[in-house]
Amino acid sequence: MCGIVGYVGEKQALEVVVSGLRRLEYRGYDSAGVAVIADGRLEVRKKAGKLVNLETLLGEDPLPQSTTGIGHTRWATHGGPTDRNAHPHVSEDQQVAVIHNGIIENFAELRDELQAAGVHLSSETDTEVVAHLLSKAIPAAGFDLVEAMRAVCRRLEGAFTLLAVDPRQPDLVVGARRNSPLVVGLGKGENFLASDVAAFVEYTRDALELGQDQIVALTSGEVVVIDFDGNPAEVRPFTIDWDASAAEKGGHDLFMLKEIAEQPKAVADSLRGRIGQDGHLQLDEMRLADADLRAVSKVVVIACGTAAHAGMVAKYAVEHWTRIPVEVELASEFRYRDPIVGPDTLVIAISQSGETMDTLMALRHAKAQGARTLAICNTVGSTIPREADAVVYTYAGPEIAVASTKAFLTQIIASYLVGLYLAQVRGTMFADEIRAIMDDLNDMPQKVDLVLDTVEPVRAIAREFANAPSVLFIGRHVGFPVALEGALKLKELAYMHAEGFAAGELKHGPIALIEDGVPVVVIMPSPRGRAVLHDKMISAIQEVRARGAVIIAIAEEGDEKIVAFSDHVIRVPIVPTLMQPLVSTVPLQVFACEMATAKGHDVDQPRNLAKSVTVE
Ligand code: AGP
């Protein structure tokens, strides 16, 4: 939701800021804007639509040279995606420019107060009030933007990352954060602020995690961090373990295609170094004591969207391996329903970005109830792993396309590692059993590679059904969350009606959706796993086929029985039952990507969406 960049240094700020915005555009693309300080005054340019519109404007109406600047790419919350509502917002006296990510919940009250004092607001945003409040606070703060920011932040409710500049302090960018991401990039003679390290990784890999309710004063030579009370604050330095090329398309037309292709490596990286010298599974970032893990009587997974589907897959494996009951709950539902969690509950928050507000709030709720918490996350330095008791990183590298692909596979891997670790600590599996599953997991990069090598026919099938009014996905057991994931990908990318169902549920209602020509994608279980599941799936196919459905089956090599019941068969390699989602999801990603491309949609930046959803 909104990407934010700030820069102070020796380079041209505009270049650094715009290149940062390009890397953050996945966070929101309703409008973009920049502000620089030049010759003692603020210069602002902003434009509705994607960053390219702003770049055109900057070509027509160039900015003067400047070494201090901020920039914003927006996902609209308050007010439509117009030029007027684009950030930065500027105070009436033209002295303060502000950009914001998040939602200021008490903005209506603050707006009324400002209007009563005669301030004219020129946008519909919640952000604009901050510009005016800062401008009013500055004289009382001795014309110090940091002090003014501190005073204003104490009045704000909700979630916010704010960056502000003021030409009276031309070499300073001030940032503040509560519940929204902000990281510092440390350069030599220059420093950076951004929602995500991707914005500055081409200049530096040294970064600082900021904590909750902190303010940062950034100059070219210094980074000072304080809390909202003005006390020096603790920050955590970290090194970014990937380079700028990881956030480029690397020869692919789309980030999504690149990320699909990267899955074998992402899976391998997520598995690397997990077996210690003694042959036991080790999770270096696991900060929970074995005694606490032995005391766990229930696991609750909280997550949203694709991450929740990964949690659903994990439930099948973790219950099987540990015999601990696992609940999977949408994070947005969790905290508003009085869930039963306590010190013997392990709450696992799964999040690629580590910033999803619903997941963060659910995590905090779980912690407040005394639960042990663990984050499965891809983004080092993000809020969710910082606030959880323990973390297992997925090491998938940056995921830029809005539609999650490699995050899903690596979230499954990380959840499986947690399940096996629990089984190891609690003694519910023998060491050789755990090693055998680790061997299966270690085979997966090569199996996913095989899927990618043979996935081409999926594209032709996708194009054949590009005009279908609806596509249904059905699965059983671990194939059920895969069906949900296939449908989600299609909805978000191809903007078409798609639903995933548990195949056994069809006859309880959804079968009424079947009519002549409706494509039904069937995630076939292995006939070698539990044969009864395979037979039941064939029955479900018969039922929908009898009503006119066209069957596209995802089936393992050697499953010949499926051929007679399908119109198209997409083959995936033979893998153990619990590993099937890692191969059967990949053709569905390609299917959705190809269908969206055939329809002429922007695959990497689908309409109405943003990569990390930092509002509730
Ligand atoms: C899926 O393609 C989506 N991008 C979305 O469902 C995503 O998985 C969800 O918003 C959760 O994001 P997170 O993993 O960053 O928490």
| pLDDT tens, residue by residue, 500-529 | 999 999 989 999 999 999 999 999 999 988
Atom of ligand 1 at shortest range from CA of 379? 15
- Residue in the structure block whose two tokens are 């439509």: 80
Confidence grade of residue 350 (pLDDT, cut at 50, 70, 90): very high
Confidence grade of residue 17 (pLDDT, cut at 50, 70, 90): very high
Q: Which residue has the higher pLDDT, 533 or 243?
A: 533
The tens digit of pLDDT for each residue in 229-241 reads 999 998 889 999 8
Instruction: State yes or no: pLDDT of 171 exceeds 90.
Output: yes
Atom of ligand 1 at shortest range from CA of 407? 14
Rg of the chain taking only CA atoms, in angstroms: 25
359 within ligand 1 shell (Cβ under 6 A) = yes
**For atom 5 of ligand 1, which residue has the closest CA?**
305
The per-residue pLDDT for 337 is 87
The per-residue pLDDT for 612 is 79
Confidence grade of residue 580 (pLDDT, cut at 50, 70, 90): very high
Percent of the chain scoring above 70 in pLDDT? 100
- Any bridge partners for residue 183, and if so which? 194, 209
- Any bridge partners for residue 191, and if so which? 8, 186
The per-residue pLDDT for 530 is 84
Name 266's Cβ contacts closer than 8 Å, sequence gap at least 6.
394, 395, 396, 397, 406, 409, 410
CA–CA distance, 215 with 381 (Å, rounded to integer): 17
455, 477, 481, 478: which is closest to 592 by C-alpha?
A: 455
How far, in Å, is the centroid of ligand 1 from the Cα of 85? 26
Atom of ligand 1 at shortest range from CA of 303? 16
How far, in Å, is the centroid of ligand 1 from the Cα of 393? 16
The tens digit of pLDDT for each residue in 75-127 reads 888 899 999 999 999 999 999 999 999 999 999 999 999 999 999 999 999 99
Instruction: State yes or no: pLDDT of 243 exceeds 90.
Output: no
Say if residues 156 and 109 touch (Cβ distance below 8 Å): no
Q: Which residue has the higher pLDDT, 35 or 531?
A: 35
374 within ligand 1 shell (Cβ under 6 A) = no
Percent of the chain scoring above 90 in pLDDT? 87
- Residue in the structure block whose two tokens are 């010298």: 277
The per-residue pLDDT for 159 is 86
Say if residues 260 and 586 touch (Cβ distance below 8 Å): yes
Atom of ligand 1 at shortest range from CA of 359? 16
The per-residue pLDDT for 611 is 81
The per-residue pLDDT for 425 is 96
Atom of ligand 1 at shortest range from CA of 356? 16
Confidence grade of residue 613 (pLDDT, cut at 50, 70, 90): confident
Whole-prediction pTM: 0.85
CB burial class (10 A; 0-12, 13-18, 19+) of residue 282?
A: middle
Confidence grade of residue 157 (pLDDT, cut at 50, 70, 90): very high
The per-residue pLDDT for 287 is 84
**For atom 6 of ligand 1, which residue has the closest CA?**
305
The per-residue pLDDT for 615 is 77
Amino acid residing at 593: C
The tens digit of pLDDT for each residue in 304-315 reads 999 999 999 999
CA–CA distance, 48 with 111 (Å, rounded to integer): 23
* Cα–Cα distances in angstroms (integers) from residue 596 to residues 140, 247, 306, 494, 590, in the given order: 54, 22, 18, 4, 10
Tokens standing for residue 174: 């001030």
Confidence grade of residue 318 (pLDDT, cut at 50, 70, 90): very high
Name the 3-class secondary structure at 227: strand
Instruction: State yes or no: pLDDT of 459 exceeds 90.
Output: yes
The tens digit of pLDDT for each residue in 543-565 reads 999 999 999 999 999 999 999 99
Strand segments (E) across 311-413: 326-330, 345-351, 372-377, 390-393
How far, in Å, is the centroid of ligand 1 from the Cα of 526? 28
352 within ligand 1 shell (Cβ under 6 A) = yes
How many CB atoms are located within 10 Å of the residue 495 CB?
15
Mutate to test the pocket of ligand 1, among 1, 195, 330, 356 (most ligand atoms within 8 A of CB): 356
The catalytic site residues sit at 2, 611
Confidence grade of residue 495 (pLDDT, cut at 50, 70, 90): very high
Say if residues 165 and 175 touch (Cβ distance below 8 Å): no
Say if residues 145 and 42 touch (Cβ distance below 8 Å): no
How far, in Å, is the centroid of ligand 1 from the Cα of 158? 21
- Any bridge partners for residue 159, and if so which? 103
DSSP class of 207 = E
**For atom 9 of ligand 1, which residue has the closest CA?**
305
Instruction: State yes or no: pLDDT of 1 exceeds 80.
Output: no
Mutate to test the pocket of ligand 1, among 306, 399, 482 (most ligand atoms within 8 A of CB): 306
Instruction: State yes or no: pLDDT of 421 exceeds 90.
Output: yes
Instruction: State yes or no: pLDDT of 614 exceeds 80.
Output: no
CA–CA distance, 509 with 306 (Å, rounded to integer): 25
- What is the rounded average pLDDT of the residues 432-450? 95
Instruction: State yes or no: pLDDT of 292 exceeds 80.
Output: yes
Round to the nearest angstrom and report the end-to-end CA distance of the chain. 11
The per-residue pLDDT for 245 is 80
Sign of torsion, CA 48 54 56 62? positive
383 within ligand 1 shell (Cβ under 6 A) = no
How many CB atoms are located within 10 Å of the residue 277 CB?
6
Instruction: State yes or no: pLDDT of 599 exceeds 80.
Output: yes
Q: Which residue has the higher pLDDT, 319 or 286?
A: 319
- What is the rounded average pLDDT of the residues 434-454? 95
304 within ligand 1 shell (Cβ under 6 A) = yes
How far, in Å, is the centroid of ligand 1 from the Cα of 263? 17
Q: Which residue has the higher pLDDT, 249 or 90?
A: 90
How far, in Å, is the centroid of ligand 1 from the Cα of 405? 10
- Residue in the structure block whose two tokens are 């951004």: 194
Structural domains in the chain plus CATH codes: 3-246 (3.60.20.10), 251-442 (3.40.50.10490), 452-598 (3.40.50.10490)
Mutate to test the pocket of ligand 1, among 255, 256, 304 (most ligand atoms within 8 A of CB): 304
Mean pLDDT of the chain: 95
Phi first, then psi: what are they for 583, rounded to 5°?
A: -105, -35
CA–CA distance, 371 with 139 (Å, rounded to integer): 46
Name the 3-class secondary structure at 216: strand
* CB burial readout 473-486, b (16+ within 10 A) else e: bbbbbbbbbbbbbb
